[in-house]
Amino acid sequence: MVEKESMVDVVKRLMDNKKQIRNICTSAHIHHGKTALTDNLLAASGKMSMKYAGSLEGGMMTWQHKDEQERLLTVDAANVAMVHEYENKEYLINLIDTPGHVDFGGNVTRAMRAVDGTIVLVCASEGIMPQTETVLKQALRERVKPVLFINKVDRLIKELRLTPEQMQERFFKIIANFNNLIEQIAEPEFKEKWKVNVNEGSVAFGSARDNWALSVPFMKKKGITFKDISKIYDMTEQERKDWSWNNAPLYEVLLDMVIKHLPDPGEAQKYRIPKIWKGDLNSDFGKSLVNCDSNGKLGFVITRIIIDPRTGRELSVGRLYSGTMKTGMQVYLNLANKTQKVQQVFIYNGIKTEQMEYIPAGNIIAIAGISADVGETITEGPEEPFEALKHIFDPVITKAIEPEVSQDVPKLIEVLRKVQKEDPSIKVEINEETGESLISGMGELHLEIIENRIKTEKNVKVKTSAPIVVYRESVSAVSPEIEGKSPNKHNKFYITVEPVPPILMEMMNKGEIGDGQFKKKDDPRIEKIINSGALSRDDVRKIWDIFNKCIVLDNTKGIIHILEIKELFLEAFRDVAKFGPLAREPVTGVLVRLKDAVLHEDAIHRGPAQVIPAVRDAIKDAMLSAKPIIYEPVQEYRIDAPSEYLGGVSKLIQQRRGQLLNVEQQDNYSEIFVKVPVAEFFGFADALRSETEGRGSFSLIDSYFEQLPRDLQEGVIKKIRERKGLSENQ
């Protein structure tokens, strides 16, 4: 795997043959070996020293931030590229190394939009873990095909002292569990054909740290068995490295598997595009996308933004699905609705970018000169944008953040905007007047990393509050009809609210029905809602908007000027959906019906100052009369600990208003499945360490909202209102 030409030369040669390109990522539970694997692939392609590959000293090349090196974990997805020879042909491998910690799962979601296949790593000792299931869900939701690498086999030999037969038993159990997950999660079309098969070679075993791997086809070809592998752990480290490189090199086994079993972009886009792009497949743009046509219409999706801290230059990284991206071309940003100019075009060469004049469809590339957000669809003229990127979990923990000195307020505001651009998993609410803003993230570690980077990399001294939990407001009954009068008394709105039907909530929670106005009669969400049977066909046709999983529809008849005030009505609806009447927390699961309206004939008397407060007050009053409720964020965890600590762990959970869901015992270890409110979970890591003498660990399985017990609701609302400084009528 020695590269004889520059990456530019290779890309120029391969760019017209999509069959010789693979766009892939690594994905796994935390500490299952993704970055060590990427290191060894880079070393084999001559992009780093073989001596340091997979080593904590001088290796881990994709850890570009100091905090990643200090904490020994991947925070940011990293793009790399390399060339591999297979059956006398060269292949360009565009690879994204993704994080394993659940707090940074947004990086995995965004990476999956750019790739067609993924190497899922599973630790041979730990087996399938909660985050393994999560990354598989993220892949299959984007129609990204998986292959399996069972890593850290050295642990079975050195720590557990398993025989080759016992190792094979463990492998088959992991493979069976992996295939069961695919059967449970995948769409019907892919349930069987995407299962991995050890005999066909879509499963490999090995040690990324020790740079060896095996697959059944490779073992047959080379005449190597697991007994041979067991013997190398009696060798010196250098002898083991030499043996691995000469007899079972990781890069050869893994990349051969990638090329043979994962699709090229031309093949993948035929089934991926109908899933991730909802436009007309028979249009010129649709045909260009499905066929990965370099000569067709331009279609590029941004999956990552990198802002250089020194120069402020913005690099937009993503997948080029169709057309050819050229330096100096004018492009159109469909979500931002504006035209900009591409100043530079880059391909990846190892972990570095290398400038090119143009790059054709089918590649993961970077462009400079564009100022956009992640998820933006870039074309040459207005086109239907790609489906929005849907993260598996929503941010559930919030901190107030403000500068230590008031003069830094403008600087902090600018930094927070950049932070949210680089990491869309972070939600930021900026208060430009006070300088105190709110940042919401996936967990305590997520916010800790962001806060640290603001201080060290962005050079702004800040102070933050203790973690705050963001609740949700909703209703549990149908309200009476509420009248909302405009300040001038010339306009009246008659509104009711009710809970969104459970089946629709489930579809919205799964991402099957997304937010956004219903502007077209053929909006694909219409058919989905009609088929669900949750609303009448007539009601579905009258939906105006879905926002924050709240629905608003127009049940009026014969109101002449109703469409002229529609945008004002929706602005008021969204205001309430962002800040509910109980404690100004976000609203979810509320269906708002406009039943009737009286509108002044003269447009000047039904402007924003008249319509918005009337509608806003009516929706709030309706909610307050519909048995309002509070939802709290709840998370399910798997806790692993020696069985002797089971009683102590159970007590810990009960003390935190948690619930024991299941306990599975294996040998002397217990897997404890629990459900705990996020508000009660702060500091749990330290408490678990103390209770289990450092031998317990936990992993997030799921995150969702559940109704807060009624007896706690009043107290929680009071605390939130006090924290926000709200008076009785706010």
CA dihedral 125, 128, 129, 134 (to 10 degrees): 150
At residue 102, does pLDDT exceed 70?
no
The C-alpha atoms of residue 475 and residue 482 are separated, in whole angstroms, by: 15
3 closest CA partner among 41, 40, 46: 46
* Residue 118 Cα to chain centre, angstroms: 15
Q: What is the pLDDT of residue 177?
A: 94
The C-alpha atoms of residue 437 and residue 431 are separated, in whole angstroms, by: 5
Work out the average pLDDT over 307-336: 89
168-177, 306-315, 657-666, range with greatest mean pLDDT:
168-177
569 closest CA partner among 558, 588, 583, 556: 556
Q: Identify the band that residue 325 occupies on the pLDDT scale cut at 50, 70 and 90.
A: very high
Q: What is the pLDDT of residue 55?
A: 45
Q: What is the pLDDT of residue 712?
A: 93
Q: Which one has a higher pLDDT value, 55 or 77?
A: 77
CA angle, 556 then 558 then 564, to 5°? 80
Confirm if 567 and 589 have CB atoms less than 8 A apart.
no
Q: Identify the band that residue 3 occupies on the pLDDT scale cut at 50, 70 and 90.
A: very low
Which H/E stretch holds residue 141?
helix 130-141
In degrees and rounded to multiples of 5, residue 454 shows phi and psi of: -60, -40
Which H/E stretch holds residue 662?
strand 659-666
Confirm if 240 and 287 have CB atoms less than 8 A apart.
no
Per DSSP, the residues of 231-290 read HHTTS-HHHHHHHHHHH-BHHHHHHHHHHHHS--HHHHHHHHHHHH--S-TTSHHHHHHH
Q: What is the pLDDT of residue 512?
A: 82
Confirm if 499 and 591 have CB atoms less than 8 A apart.
yes
249 strand-pairing partners: 212
Alpha carbon separation from 81 to 57, 89, 314, 361, 364 (Å, rounded) = 22, 17, 20, 16, 9
Work out the average pLDDT over 253-277: 94
Handedness of CA 515, 520, 524, 525 (dihedral sign): positive
Q: Which one has a higher pLDDT value, 429 or 205?
A: 205
Which H/E stretch holds residue 385?
none
The C-alpha atoms of residue 616 and residue 581 are separated, in whole angstroms, by: 10
The C-alpha atoms of residue 329 and residue 358 are separated, in whole angstroms, by: 10
Full set of structural domains in the chain with CATH? 18-263 (3.40.50.300), 276-379 (2.40.30.10), 400-468 (3.30.70.870), 473-626 (3.30.230.10), 630-714 (3.30.70.240)
In the three-class reduction of DSSP (H, G, I as helix; E, B as strand; rest coil), residue 2 is classed as coil
Q: What is the pLDDT of residue 72?
A: 47
At residue 604, does pLDDT exceed 50?
yes
Handedness of CA 527, 529, 532, 535 (dihedral sign): negative
At residue 553, does pLDDT exceed 90?
yes
Q: What is the pLDDT of residue 44?
A: 59
The C-alpha atoms of residue 272 and residue 365 are separated, in whole angstroms, by: 19
Alpha carbon separation from 498 to 103, 557, 584 (Å, rounded) = 34, 20, 19
Burial bucket for residue 438 (CB in 10 Å: 0-12, 13-18, 19+): middle
568 closest CA partner among 605, 513, 520, 523: 605
303 closest CA partner among 114, 535, 88: 114
Percent of the chain having pLDDT more than 70?
90
Work out the average pLDDT over 630-636: 92
Q: Identify the band that residue 60 occupies on the pLDDT scale cut at 50, 70 and 90.
A: very low
At residue 642, does pLDDT exceed 70?
yes
Alpha carbon separation from 439 to 298, 398, 402, 453, 481 (Å, rounded) = 35, 5, 10, 13, 37
For 686, residues 6+ apart whose C-beta sits below 8 A from its C-beta are none
The C-alpha atoms of residue 593 and residue 619 are separated, in whole angstroms, by: 9
The C-alpha atoms of residue 702 and residue 110 are separated, in whole angstroms, by: 19
Work out the average pLDDT over 603-622: 93
The C-alpha atoms of residue 484 and residue 569 are separated, in whole angstroms, by: 12
Which H/E stretch holds residue 124?
none
First to last CA, the chain: 67
Work out the average pLDDT over 113-142: 91
At residue 398, does pLDDT exceed 60?
yes
**What pTM, to 2 d.p., does this model score?**
0.81
CA dihedral 76, 77, 83, 86 (to 10 degrees): 140
The C-alpha atoms of residue 654 and residue 157 are separated, in whole angstroms, by: 39
Q: Identify the band that residue 283 occupies on the pLDDT scale cut at 50, 70 and 90.
A: very high
In the three-class reduction of DSSP (H, G, I as helix; E, B as strand; rest coil), residue 12 is classed as helix
Across all residues in the chain, what is the average pLDDT? 86
Residue 59 DSSP label: -
Work out the average pLDDT over 367-380: 92
Q: Identify the band that residue 6 occupies on the pLDDT scale cut at 50, 70 and 90.
A: low
Residue 609 DSSP label: H
At residue 693, does pLDDT exceed 60?
yes
Q: What is the pLDDT of residue 53?
A: 45
Confirm if 206 and 151 have CB atoms less than 8 A apart.
yes
At residue 63, does pLDDT exceed 70?
no
Work out the average pLDDT over 150-157: 90
Alpha carbon separation from 56 to 60, 70, 211, 449 (Å, rounded) = 6, 10, 14, 20
Q: What is the pLDDT of residue 717?
A: 93
Q: Are strands 117-123 and 21-28 parallel, antiparallel or unpaired?
A: parallel
Confirm if 265 and 18 have CB atoms less than 8 A apart.
yes
Work out the average pLDDT over 367-376: 91
Alpha carbon separation from 129 to 102, 124, 207, 653 (Å, rounded) = 12, 11, 18, 21
For 553, residues 6+ apart whose C-beta sits below 8 A from its C-beta are 539, 542, 543, 544, 591, 592, 593, 594
* Residue 69 Cα to chain centre, angstroms: 23
Least confident of 5-9, 128-132, 321-325, 694-698: 5-9
At residue 47, does pLDDT exceed 60?
no
Q: Identify the band that residue 350 occupies on the pLDDT scale cut at 50, 70 and 90.
A: low
Rg of the chain over Cα atoms, rounded to whole angstroms, equals 27
Amino acid at 417: R
For 542, residues 6+ apart whose C-beta sits below 8 A from its C-beta are 553, 554, 555
The C-alpha atoms of residue 694 and residue 677 are separated, in whole angstroms, by: 23
At residue 324, does pLDDT exceed 50?
yes
Which H/E stretch holds residue 172?
helix 164-185
For the segment 183-233, what is each residue's pLDDT rounded down to a tens digit? 999 999 999 999 999 999 999 999 888 888 999 999 998 888 888 888 888
Look-up of token digits 């595009």? 273
Per DSSP, the residues of 185-246 read HS-GGGTTTTS--TTTTSEEEEETTTTEEE-HHHHHHHT--HHHHHHHTTS-HHHHHHHHHH
